[in-house]
Structure 1
Amino acid sequence: MSRALSTSDRETWIRTLSFLLLGSICYALPWSVFAALPIPTDNSSVLRIQGSNTIGARLGPALVKGLLEEQGLSAIRIEAGAAENEQKVIGKTADGRSVNIEVAAHGSGTGFSALADGSAELAASSRPIKDSEVSSLAALGDLTSREAEQIIALDGLAIILHPSNPLTALTTEQLAQVFAGELSDWAQLGAPSGPISLYARDDKSGTFDTFKELVLSANARTLATHAKRYESSEQLSDAVSQDRNAIGFIGLPYIRQAKALAIAAGDSQPMLPTPALIATEDYPLSRRLFLYNQPDLANPWARALVQFAHSPRGQAIVEGSGFIAQNVQAMQVAATAEMPAQYQALTQEAQRLSVNFRFQQGSASLDNKALRDLPRLLEYLQAQNKLERKVVLVGFGDAKDDVARAELLSKLRAMAVRRELSKAGVSFHDIIGLGDELPVAANNADDGRVRNRRVEVWVY
């Protein structure tokens, strides 16, 4: 039997794991001790970011500004770039030299094109990289690897209406029918009669790609040709809030004056896009926001921005920009009638943490977000004195013909997370497998099954 880890052993192991999983980031060191980054003598941009409007409109420039502040620059300003939806973040060094970082926000797909032609060092994306993009960029390395795929924030697609619309909830299937034009009058959904006006992001948008994957394609539908299309998230949201017959979809920070609907997928309960449900990725239209880079990232400013985005201060900027940070927090969960008895007991005696562990598609290996969440969780457990017999892991899965098999697989997923945490000396109160209970997504598509195959973390 291996010996129990001492407190100092645990602290050392957690710092080591943080270093290994987060690249060259060391949580034990303050950011200010990092060496100053190189500045070109020709006043050219030190870093170019291209891609998602969701990231590039607000979050990207805010993270860049934070990085420049950490580097000791002053007189930092954000100004318009050469074209619409392009910005420059500019700061001055102590000796008066100018540092310039460009952020262009024309849609997630443009980020991968920019990586391919060398016109950007980082691709900002509000959806995962596509298989076709992985293949076309293979010469740069494996862009699905932990070194290349950086999950910097969480977001949720909000389905928005005019504030006066009394409708409160829809299923993803109903959404697909609405945006395909098959349901064209609000009376068909139980609201006062009127023609439904469709508002959608443009084809280059990662927001549209996410909506297409989670709603339209999952229900074998395509977007109606008469939908009004927008490159700007803000403009779409403002247009919806001024049209009594409107329905649209948007990233969480851009709800603005509109009204958000609760959404259900498959057998899940209707859920509003709340921070807690998006943090756990239970909300059916939750999504991850990414930065992609070459695995052997050569540009020091790109490397520094990636590291800064993962840091506590970077995640504070994520939260301040209206997105959901990846910090671990405890949440009280109210019991409901459909919960299994074991789960109801947990809601009475324990708290759920704002992190779910999920797995690579078709694999028992933790995905890239889960790998980065391990040190975050360990630091939380250590800070809250929860390392010894205070943790419960609850595994879930997608539906199987054999109920016992579904239960076994869900427990094996929980055991996979237990194995990683045990290496840091965490001991457990219980390990539970609940099979296909409490689905958060439909099981008729790969994305839904991946969402349902999850491990929750509870603490006493």
Structure 2
Amino acid sequence: MLRALFTGTAQHRAAWLFGFICSAVPGLVFAALPIPAEGIPALRIQGSNTIGAALGPALVEGLLHAQGLQNVHIEAGAHENERRVLGQTPAGRTILIEVAAHGSGTGFTALKADKADLAASSRPIKDSELANLASLGDLKSRKAEQVIAIDGVAVILHPANPLHQLNTEQLAQIFSGEVHDWEDLGGTGGAIHLYARDDHSGTFDTFNELVLLKYGKTLARNTKRFESSEQLSDEVSQDRGGIGFIGLPYVRRAHAVAIADGDSKPMLPTVSLIATEDYPLSRRLYFYLPPQGLQPWADALVQFAQSSKGQAIVANNGFIAQTVQAIKVQASAGMPADYQAIVKQAQRLSVNFRFAQGSATLDNKAQLDLQRVVDYLKTHDKLNGHVTLVGFGDAKSDPARAALLSKLRAMAVRRELVKAGVVLRDIRGLGDEMPVAANNADEGRIKNRRVEVWVY
């Protein structure tokens, strides 16, 4: 921990005092953390507006309370979309944590410039950013890349707009300006007005990758751009011709539509569909902390965010927590017969296991989900013979190969669950059945390569 204090600039290092919060203070949940000099932030967070507008400060508040601090509160920062979270130790020392929310890309830039200790991002780190920050360690490693919540990019319309569903290709045509009248989409005639987050936004990056770039499109020049999620949503809800995209907590008074991708069924951004990441525009929210010279307050915040208390704060702020729950699913005619049999007898857990790109290895989120699933099974006395795993995959020219690969993915999950003492009831591989995304791009293929968990 002490080595972490000597990795910043000389000015920043000199500012730290080696006082410690007393471990006897009631409510402490982590090892003692260093106390900086008055006025020097204990932690600097920069990045996503989706996270930093409310969720980030709320998690910081929770951490300070968990550390036994008093008079914990949030103040406005020096600039718009910036916050200061403060608390006092029992000895009267002030702890300050700064949160700047100007877009995901700004978080990685700030890490490079030593102006942040933790980057908040509503998209995965880009390969170019990963290479640029290589001196800080592998930011794709399990320790560095932390999924703290699940969100859905909701497509929103004016409340009076009669449209209820769109597919991703239509969205690409709309936001590129190729389709510019609502009548062309079966709605009430009138010009389409476009609203989007700015170029620093992870929300925009997500929509750009999942929709525009997927169809070789770029955002229309006449699109109105916003740094604030709340302002964008409010503008759409007041414009009868408006359409925008926004993080789930910011739908507010607007009307969200169901989205289909490829052969998937249209899906609304509901809690269950976003939790399993089946919703076509679902996404993960991340904290990235440099693994070399680990900053102790950043590490403590990540641990708190992953805890049950932290995930409760995630849910209270309108995002989807990673807490495992059982969901009753209604059988439908479009389901394979053997899948319908499972649906009628069992409940689906609110987690899908997915894999690192081009690999049979479970990704970083799945590694933590394993323990969450095991904890659920222990709590509900379902360790012995109550679990069926169902694997799915992307389309292959040979259906038998697709079925085999999907079962092998389920077996990879089984191996890890067996290590924790879980005895499975059954394993199924359904190949390319029931896609949740189009198979013509890597992002869609990755989403289709999944393993569901069903409990009896």
Matched, 1:326 2:305: no
Specify the alignment match of 2:436 in structure 1: 440
Give 1:33-432 correspondences, 5 Å limit.
Answer: 33-432=29-428
- Asked whether the 8 Å contact 2:48–2:101 carries over to 1, the reply is yes
- Asked whether the 8 Å contact 2:27–2:68 carries over to 1, the reply is no
Instruction: Please state whether the residue corresponding to 2:150 is helix, strand or coil.
Output: strand
Residues 257-290 of structure 1, C-alpha deviations (whole Å, 9 max, x = no match) = 0000000000000000000000000000000000
Instruction: Please state whether the residue corresponding to 2:284 is helix, strand or coil.
Output: strand
- Asked whether the 8 Å contact 2:38–2:94 carries over to 1, the reply is no
Per the TM alignment, residue 453 of structure 1 is displaced from its structure 2 partner at its CA by 0.2
Matched AA of 2:145? E
Per the TM alignment, residue 164 of structure 1 is displaced from its structure 2 partner at its CA by 0.2
Aligned residues: 431
| CA distance, structure 2, for counterparts of residue 283 and residue 200 of structure 1 | 20
| CA distance, structure 2, for counterparts of residue 31 and residue 414 of structure 1 | 40
- Asked whether the 8 Å contact 1:297–1:303 carries over to 2, the reply is no
Per the TM alignment, residue 37 of structure 1 is displaced from its structure 2 partner at its CA by 1.7
Matched AA of 2:69? L
Specify the alignment match of 1:12 in structure 2: none
Residues 398-454 of structure 1, C-alpha deviations (whole Å, 9 max, x = no match) = 000000000000000000000000111211111000000000000000000000000
Q: Which 10-residue stretch deviates more, 42-51 or 171-180?
A: 42-51
Instruction: Please state whether the residue corresponding to 2:233 is helix, strand or coil.
Output: helix
Question: TM-score w.r.t. structure 1 length?
Answer: 0.93
Matched AA of 2:340? Q
Distance 1:31 1:456, change over 3 A: farther
Specify the alignment match of 2:22 in structure 1: none
Per the TM alignment, residue 31 of structure 1 is displaced from its structure 2 partner at its CA by 6.6
Specify the alignment match of 2:11 in structure 1: none
Matched AA of 2:214? A
- Asked whether the 8 Å contact 1:150–1:291 carries over to 2, the reply is yes
Residues 91-120 of structure 1, C-alpha deviations (whole Å, 9 max, x = no match) = 111111111000000000000001101000
Q: Which 10-residue stretch deviates more, 74-83 or 327-336?
A: 74-83
| CA distance, structure 1, for counterparts of residue 99 and residue 188 of structure 2 | 43
Residues 67-110 of structure 1, C-alpha deviations (whole Å, 9 max, x = no match) = 00011111111111111111100111111111100000000000
Residues 33-90 of structure 1, C-alpha deviations (whole Å, 9 max, x = no match) = 4333221134300000000000000000000000000111111111111111111001
Matched AA of 1:202? D
Runs of 4 or more, structure 1, over 6 Å off, are none
Per the TM alignment, residue 182 of structure 1 is displaced from its structure 2 partner at its CA by 0.5
| CA distance, structure 1, for counterparts of residue 50 and residue 293 of structure 2 | 24
Instruction: Please state whether the residue corresponding to 2:195 is helix, strand or coil.
Output: strand
Matched AA of 1:66? G
Question: TM-score w.r.t. structure 2 length?
Answer: 0.94
Per the TM alignment, residue 296 of structure 1 is displaced from its structure 2 partner at its CA by 3.2
Which runs of 5 or more residues in structure 1 are unaligned?
1-29
| CA distance, structure 1, for counterparts of residue 104 and residue 421 of structure 2 | 41
Which runs of 5 or more residues in structure 2 are unaligned?
1-25
Per the TM alignment, residue 297 of structure 1 is displaced from its structure 2 partner at its CA by 4.8
Per the TM alignment, residue 145 of structure 1 is displaced from its structure 2 partner at its CA by 0.5
| CA distance, structure 1, for counterparts of residue 292 and residue 284 of structure 2 | 23
RMSD: 0.9
| CA distance, structure 2, for counterparts of residue 453 and residue 427 of structure 1 | 23
- Asked whether the 8 Å contact 2:199–2:205 carries over to 1, the reply is yes
Specify the alignment match of 1:22 in structure 2: none
| CA distance, structure 2, for counterparts of residue 344 and residue 253 of structure 1 | 33
Per the TM alignment, residue 369 of structure 1 is displaced from its structure 2 partner at its CA by 0.3
Residues 312-358 of structure 1, C-alpha deviations (whole Å, 9 max, x = no match) = 00000000010000000000000111100011011110000001000
